[in-house]
């Protein structure tokens, strides 16, 4: 139970940690959880990169990474200095390996985007329930599996709208946000806020009919974006014979994007 509670609380702990407002006890629990949870480490790393855009000095960011990912220092002062010195050196080595990998988060594809459209500042993490807990989805989803989402939105353009959906190889669309259950309606992109690791409220279940599923997260400030616009574009792509596997950016102007390609198969 404690492990699940720590996983649920970790996004808030990370936000407070970067705001220098996390209590000492929670800081220790966050460090222990980061050592065991790849999903929360990815969230921490993403926030580290977002904060690195001209905000804290590089040395300060390296020290913060060391404090979060390495064991807490011992209480006596001489050992504390030794551990912190080793932590800083380890953090330098870790950053040399981690930062190039994070330029394109694992599993996500940003080709077709640009520095100017803001895609480098946004991301969506996908989760599915496994053995009673939510686990990060990276490459595979079951044909009928509920998915939950958390997004990071750190662009200077302050995106405040999100379209989140999936397209299979038959160009059938599965909507997550906004929900679209009434074919007579035309829901618009949902409001979002700035921040990192912000959880969306629902676990959404679809019956996926294809074998490949590409999830798109489109961030924007446009108020006119609706599900019917996306459906019309997807239909055009189908008629033009564009393969979903190769569709690394959804052709909708005024959006920053992240996309994740999954296999659909039974466990």
Segment 191-234, tens digit of pLDDT: 999 999 999 999 999 999 999 999 999 999 999 999 999 999 99
Least confident of 63-77, 156-170, 235-249: 63-77
Q: What is the mean pLDDT of residues 111-116?
A: 47
Shared domain for 137 and 249, answered yes or no, is: yes
Give the pLDDT band of residue 131 (cuts 50, 70, 90).
confident
Say what the pTM is.
0.59
For residue 235, the surrounding DSSP H or E stretch is: helix 227-239
- Do residues 96 and 114 share a domain? no
Domain count, the chain: 2
Q: Which of 80, 102, 124 is the last residue of a domain?
A: 102
DSSP 230: H
Which region among 8-12, 184-188, 249-253 has the lowest average model confidence (pLDDT)? Answer: 8-12
Statement to judge: residues 177 and 253 lie in one domain: yes
Residue with the bigger pLDDT between 111 and 172: it is 172
- The answer, yes or no, to whether residue 265 has pLDDT greater than 70, is yes
Residue at a domain's end among 102, 124, 148? 102
H-run or E-run covering 36: helix 24-36
Same-domain check for residues 194 and 117? yes
Cα distances (Å, whole numbers) of residue 22 to 12, 25, 30, 43, 45: 9, 8, 10, 16, 17
Comparing C-alpha atoms, which of 62, 82, 66, 86 is closest to residue 74? 82
For the chain, how big is the Rg over CA atoms in Å? 20
Average pLDDT, the chain: 78
Query: Could you tell me if 151 and 258 lie in one domain?
Result: yes
Note down the domain range covering 155: 108-264
Domain ends where: 102, 133, 163? 102
Residue 197 and residue 113 share a domain: yes
Same-domain check for residues 148 and 89: no
Same structural domain, 208 and 77: no
Together in a domain, 119 and 239: yes
Residue 243's pLDDT is what?
94
pLDDT in tens, 65-76: 455 444 443 333
CA-CA-CA-CA dihedral for 42, 48, 52, 53, to nearest 10: 50
pLDDT of residue 105: 39
* pLDDT at residue 211, as a whole number: 94
Residue 39 has pLDDT above 70, yes or no: yes
Residues 256 and 148 in one domain: yes
- pLDDT value of residue 69: 46
Task: Assess whether 52 and 133 both reside in one domain.
Answer: no
pLDDT higher for 27 or 49? Answer: 27
């Amino acid at each position: 139970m404690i492990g699940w509670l720590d996983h649920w609380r970790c996004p808030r702990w990370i936000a407070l940690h970067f705001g220098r407002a996390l209590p000492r006890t929670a800081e220790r629990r966050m460090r222990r959880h980061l050592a065991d949870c790849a999903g929360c480490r990815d969230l921490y790393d993403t926030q580290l990169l977002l904060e690195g855009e001209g905000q804290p000095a590089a040395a300060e960011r390296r020290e913060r990474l060391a404090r979060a990912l390495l064991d807490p220092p011992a209480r006596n002062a001489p050992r504390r200095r030794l551990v912190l010195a080793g932590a800083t050196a380890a953090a330098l080595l870790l950053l040399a390996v981690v930062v190039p990998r994070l330029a394109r988060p694992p599993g996500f594809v940003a080709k077709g985007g640009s520095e100017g459209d803001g895609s480098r500042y946004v991301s969506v993490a996908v989760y599915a329930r496994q053995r009673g807990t939510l686990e990060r989805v990276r490459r595979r989803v079951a044909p009928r599996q509920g998915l939950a989402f958390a997004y990071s939105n750190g662009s200077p353009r302050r995106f405040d709208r999100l379209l989140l959906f999936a397209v299979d190889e038959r160009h059938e669309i599965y909507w997550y946000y906004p929900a679209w259950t009434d074919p007579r309606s035309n829901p618009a992109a949902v409001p979002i806020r700035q921040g990192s690791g912000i959880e969306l409220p629902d676990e959404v279940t679809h019956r996926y009919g294809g074998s490949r599923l590409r999830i798109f997260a489109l961030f924007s400030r446009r108020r006119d974006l609706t599900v019917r616009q996306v459906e019309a574009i997807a239909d055009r792509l189908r008629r033009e014979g564009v393969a979903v596997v190769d569709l690394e950016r959804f052709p909708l102007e005024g959006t920053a994007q992240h996309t994740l390609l999954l296999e659909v198969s039974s466990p």
